[in-house]
Amino acid sequence: MKIAIIGAGSVGSAVATAVKNTGFVHEIVLFDRDGVRARAAAEDLGHAASFGFDVKITAVSNYRGIRGSDIVIIAAGANQRVGETRTDLLNKNAAVIQDIMPRIMANTDVKKVKIIIVTNPLDVMVMLAHQISHMPPEHIIGTGTMLDSGRLRTILARQIGVSTQSVNAYVLGEHGDSSIIDWSSITVGALGLDDFCRQMKISLPQTTRNTITHRVHNAAYEIIRGRGATWDGISAAVADLLRCIINDERRILTVSCVSGRGTDMVAMSLPRIVGADGVIATLRPKLNATESGALRRSGKIIRKNFDAIK
Ligand code: NAD
């Protein structure tokens, strides 16, 4: 299994580490328009590989080096500075996707290759990659709200005192400020959240739920304020998604993928079954009226941003 990573910055190199540590790939190639950075990252990662799985990691100086890749991960582009939203990156990173996608298409088997998009604003970049390539929508997968869902599960699990592994909870819509938490579908073990809280005599009032929502929405801003960028959470999410595709695991993940055509075309995160063929099916969560309205608004915001690309 050969994986190409485009962009060898904070996220791209952390993704390379996480992917290497899955043990499921034999070769990783890194491309960055800053060749010195890509070579340095590949050198460092190559040394790290001597302590674990024997993965061949190289930097390539042009796109011919990605030939034969089964999966290409796009982690190139500007990241948020303190105070910036993901949408502030729109035109800068649209230009990056417009630069990268034709080169990927010229050097991979477009009928088979799977593209994982990490670059923000995530959902709009998924739409743009689809518009440029006309690849099957199920093969262009944005990490979407996988990370946000992971944040929600972590914060909620700590609040109610169980393992994160026992909490099923989804963040839907935009990977951005308009994302929504699907509170009504949360389960803890086999119990609905309210039932679990009743049995365990845990109080989870609306004010606590609002605080959790706020913490999930603001997690990236807090991390960027503290350490300049985020990379650990997203790289773990990418490795998890990659594992799901490589092993045809058919797990349900909140990834972003294009649906609809023409002016109805939009990409956003919904619970989707993911396997070797990419996105295999999309599940429609049962939302209450407020949640449905918020999800529709989130889709409209994504579409408006896509239409605003200059
Ligand atoms: P970074 O500045 O550390 O690295 C970006 C790299 O992209 C640089 O090395 C740069 O040279 C390279 N690059 C830029 N344009 C390129 C091009 N046209 N071709 C090849 N390489 C190019 O940034 P980062 O912190 O690694 O973030 C990368 C992206 O990931 C950002 O858009 C950021 O917002 C996004 N991100 C997404 C998530 C998520 O959950 N989806 C989480 C964190 C970061």
* Separation CA 114–CA 58 (nearest Å): 20
CA–centroid distance, 286 to ligand 1, in Å, is: 35
pLDDT greater than 90 at residue 159? yes
Catalytic residue list contains 175 = yes
pLDDT greater than 90 at residue 81? no
Alpha helices in the chain, H assignment, sequence order: 10-20, 35-49, 90-107, 122-133, 146-160, 193-200, 206-227, 232-246, 289-307
Predicted local confidence at residue 68, as pLDDT: 97
Stretch 257-262: mean pLDDT? 94
* Separation CA 224–CA 232 (nearest Å): 12
pTM of the predicted model as reported, rounded to 2 decimal places: 0.97
* Separation CA 232–CA 76 (nearest Å): 16
CB 33 within 8 A of CB 61: no
Residues 6+ apart with CB under 8 A from 50: none
Predicted local confidence at residue 230, as pLDDT: 93
Predicted local confidence at residue 227, as pLDDT: 94
Pick from 154, 186, 192: which is nearest to 170 by CA? 186
Set 26, 47, 134, 175: catalytic member: 175
Span of 9-18, 104-113, 143-152, 285-294 with lowest mean pLDDT: 285-294
Stretch 99-113: mean pLDDT? 97
Predicted local confidence at residue 166, as pLDDT: 98
- Give residues (CB < 6 A) around ligand 1: 6-12, 32-34, 37, 75-80, 89, 93, 96, 99-100, 118-120, 122, 143, 147, 175, 229-230, 234
Ligand 1: which of 15, 33, 87 to mutate, most ligand atoms within 8 Å of CB? Answer: 33
Average pLDDT, the chain: 96
CA–centroid distance, 273 to ligand 1, in Å, is: 27
Pick from 143, 140, 147: which is nearest to 277 by CA? 140
DSSP string, 184-208: GG-EETTEEHHHHHHHHT----HHH
Relative to beta strand 27-31, strand 56-59 is parallel
Q: pLDDT for 200-250, tens place per residue?
A: 999 999 999 999 999 999 999 999 999 999 999 999 999 999 999 999 999
Opening angle at CA 91, ends 89 and 95, nearest 5: 110
CA–centroid distance, 85 to ligand 1, in Å, is: 15
